[in-house]
Amino acid sequence: MAGAMAAAAAGGMLLLLRRGRPPPGLGPAPRRYRYKEKWAATAPRIPPTRLALHHFDVTYSLQLRDQWPSVRAGLLCEQKYGALLNNFSAVRHVAQELELLNATDFVSPAPKKEAGRGDGVSPEGSGEGRTAARAETVTRAETSPPLRASIRSNIRCYTFPRGDITRFRPARPDTLGLLDYYLMDAASLLPVLALNVQPDDFVLDLCAAPGGKTLALLQTGICGHLAANDVSISRTKRLYQILHSYVPREIRETVRVTSYDGRDWGQLEGGTFHKVLVDVPCTTDRHSVMEQDNNIFHRRRTKERQMLPMLQLQLLMAGILATKPGGEVVYSTCSLSPLQNEHVIERAVEVAETQYNISVQVEDLSHFRMLFQDTFSFFSDCRLGELVLPHLTANFGPMYFCKLRRM
Ligand SMILES: C[S@@+](CC[C@H](N)C(=O)[O-])C[C@H]1O[C@@H](n2cnc3c(N)ncnc32)[C@H](O)[C@@H]1O
């Protein structure tokens, strides 16, 4: 310790010398040249992206085993986007323009595929690779009625085929200034599709900003009672901007935008919504390995990162409490971490039962893998819910989503 401090002091002296400060041997430097050497300043600076990658190498290699190198490569390469068509825009022929470029809409064909699925018949491969624990947890869900109308065909989202890394042109405004499409990680649409919004549903988007999923909910054309909340005022401003750029005034004025702490929502308006989307803050794995700015692996954010699963659980509990009996909650993250995904679901089911006497059932979404396997690479061994894995040929995600029904 003393040696290290001496070295630090020597380092400080060297700095002073380099800057041409008073030469040594002439007594203490004038007060204005003195400063305290801080440990934080002498500790090696490891960029947060490297810390994130190291953390993921340790944890995800155990979880994903021989798939990790491929997922890792995907995370470190340019991600792919989807173009969510804006049904409110008057720009014509956007779909034809995208189809000429060989892009296809992955959402619209889904209802047909789903109709082709027999009632009660498990989708091809749905049981593959599932662990015994998962099979136990969803037994009740698998016997519940299948999600008949889960895919709303009004949503159209174009992607380029696997292996095609063409980029979309920037969005264009129509004569009223509404943009023709919204570029997003196409996997972000899956939680919205899983929410299965029906006409007259009261819908809550609990962590809504910057608003990609809120916009997708509005694109269903049937989401007339939508509340969009986000605790961050600055991010809520971005949500307003997106609504302004994509949604006509008469529709956006129907959206109730608030900036509450979502954890309080259950007490504010418990039991009022048919559908609740809980798209929680998470380690945003792709961002964490690629961007230094606003990186949750920054040393000064260690505590915040460690507390994420607790925050996620509290937000999910608030979402469950905000739901009417019989209503549904979709929980989602853009992380591969089981601690932020399945574990949060398991804890929430337990807390709902023991602390609130609310029975919550995990719904089976394995048919999503069958419906969207051409577009996304799904993890076949996710204990609860579904997980889209980044892959070099289909570089979307990570996106975890799981659906709960309040009984
Ligand atoms: C993953 S982002 C949501 C992305 C958004 N759903 C979308 O699709 O554009 C998570 C959001 O949760 C918000 N958030 C964090 N803590 C919250 C809290 N206690 N209550 C409500 N929102 C919170 C963050 O401000 C952030 O905007």
Q: What is the 3-state secondary structure (H, E, C) of 260-323?
A: CCHHHHHHHCCCCEEEEEEECCCCCHHHHHHCCCCCCCCHHHHHHHHCHHHHHHHHHHHHHHHE
223 is catalytic: no
Please state, in angstroms and rounded to a whole number, the distance separating the CA atoms of residues 129 and 120.
20
Task: Give 85-94 pLDDT, tens digit per residue.
Answer: 999 999 889 9
Q: Which CATH architecture has domain 48-406?
A: 3-Layer(aba) Sandwich (3.40)
Q: Which residues share a beta bridge with 278?
A: 331
Interval between CA 262 and ligand 1 midpoint (Å): 9
pLDDT by residue for the chain (407 residues), tens only, comes to: 344 434 433 333 333 333 344 445 445 666 666 655 565 566 678 999 999 999 999 999 999 999 999 999 999 999 999 999 999 999 889 999 999 999 999 999 888 787 776 544 444 344 333 433 443 444 334 433 334 444 556 999 999 999 999 999 999 999 999 999 999 999 999 999 999 999 999 999 999 999 999 999 999 999 989 999 999 999 999 999 999 999 999 999 999 999 999 999 978 888 999 999 999 999 999 999 999 999 999 999 999 999 999 999 999 999 999 999 999 999 999 999 999 999 999 999 999 999 999 999 999 999 999 999 999 999 999 999 999 999 999 999 999 999 999 99
Burial bucket for residue 130 (CB in 10 Å: 0-12, 13-18, 19+): middle
Interval between CA 253 and ligand 1 midpoint (Å): 21
Interval between CA 166 and ligand 1 midpoint (Å): 30
Residue 363 contacts residue 147 (beta carbons within 8 Å): yes
Please state, in angstroms and rounded to a whole number, the distance separating the CA atoms of residues 405 and 407.
6
Nearest atom in ligand 1 to the alpha carbon of residue 332 is 1
pLDDT at 164: 95
Altogether, the residues listed in the chain come to a count of 407
Pocket test for ligand 1, best of 192, 206, 207 (most atoms within 8 A of CB): 207
pLDDT at 40: 57
Domain boundaries for CATH 3.40.50.150 within the chain: 48-406
* Candidates 207, 334, 382, 402; catalytic one: 334
Nearest atom in ligand 1 to the alpha carbon of residue 334 is 1
Pocket, ligand 1, Cβ cutoff 6 A = 188, 207-213, 230-232, 235, 261-263, 279, 281
CA atoms within 13 A on the CB side of 145: 4
Measured between alpha carbons, how far is residue 23 from residues 5, 13, 14, 17, 78 in Å? 21, 10, 11, 7, 52
pLDDT at 112: 78
Burial bucket for residue 401 (CB in 10 Å: 0-12, 13-18, 19+): buried
Within 8 A by CB and 6+ apart from 385, the residues are: 331, 341, 342, 345, 362, 365, 400, 401, 402, 403
pLDDT at 151: 55
pLDDT at 31: 67
Interval between CA 116 and ligand 1 midpoint (Å): 36
Interval between CA 209 and ligand 1 midpoint (Å): 6
Pocket test for ligand 1, best of 205, 215, 229, 232 (most atoms within 8 A of CB): 232
Using alpha carbons, select from 57, 60, 41, 40 the residue that is nearest to residue 49: 57
Nearest atom in ligand 1 to the alpha carbon of residue 213 is 8
Measured between alpha carbons, how far is residue 316 from residues 123, 160, 301, 313 in Å? 28, 34, 22, 5
